Amino acid sequence: MPTVITHAAVPLAIGLGLGQRVFSPRLLVAGVVASMLPDIDVLGFHFGIPYASQFGHRGFTHSLIFAGALAVAAVLFHGFLHTSRWRAFAFVFVSAASHGLLDAFTTGGKGIALLWPFTTERYFAPFRMIQVSPIGVGRFLSRNEGHVIASELLWVWLPMLLFFLLLRTLCKRSETAPHPATQR
C-alpha cells in the first residue's frame, strides 16, 4: 500500500484543483478521510483476522461497495458538508475508491478485493510501480524507506500535482471566459 498520507493526494488534487466554489472545505476533509479510511482494516491484525480474509487487509474496506457506503453516508450529511447530495456522493465515492485503485498499483501485498462481495478475488493493476509501504508506523520508521517515499512522489504526488494544475488552469479559463449570453 502507499503510505496512508499519500492516499489523500487524489481528493486534494481534485478538491483544491476545482476550488472552494465547487468543493467546500468540509467536503474536502470528508474526501481526504474517505481516501484514508479503508486502511482501518489493519486493526484486524490485532484481532487475529488473517490478511487474506475478506475482512483482512485490502479486503472489503478496499471495495467499491465500501466506497459506495461511505458515499451514501456523505449524502446523509450533505448539509453539514455544505454541498449537494450528488456532489457529496460523487466526491466521497471517488476519494474512497481511489484508495483501492492506488493499492492495486503497488509492488506487494495480496491484491485488492475491489469487487467484494460479488467475488472474493483480489486484483492488481497490470502495471505495479508504486513501492509497497510496510504496515505500521514503527516498521516504516525503523527502516530506511526512502525508496517508498520516492516512489510515491514519482507515481502518485507528481501526477496528482499535474492534475491539480490542469484543473486550476481550466477553472481559471472558465472564470475569465466571456459568458455566451453577453456575446453578440
User: Domain extents for the chain?
Assistant: 6-182
User: Does 128 score more than 70 pLDDT?
Assistant: yes
Q: Band the pLDDT of 10: cuts 50, 70, 90.
A: very high
As a whole number of angstroms, the distance between CA 140 and CA 39 comes to: 15
17-29 pLDDT tens trace: 999 999 999 999 9
Burial (0-12, 13-18, 19+ Cβ within 10 Å), 11: buried
Q: What is the residue whose three cell numbers read 487474506?
A: 52
- Give the pLDDT of residue 170: 95
- Give the pLDDT of residue 182: 56
Amino acid at 133: S
As a whole number of angstroms, the distance between CA 124 and CA 99 comes to: 13
As a whole number of angstroms, the distance between CA 10 and CA 160 comes to: 6
Burial (0-12, 13-18, 19+ Cβ within 10 Å), 16: middle
131-180 pLDDT tens trace: 998 876 555 455 556 888 899 999 999 999 999 999 999 998 888 877 66
- Give the pLDDT of residue 77: 98
41-98 pLDDT tens trace: 999 999 999 999 999 999 999 999 999 999 999 999 999 999 999 999 999 999 999 9
- Give the pLDDT of residue 44: 94
Q: What is the residue whose three cell numbers read 466506497?
A: 67
As a whole number of angstroms, the distance between CA 111 and CA 108 comes to: 8
- Give the pLDDT of residue 2: 76
| The residue count for the chain | 184
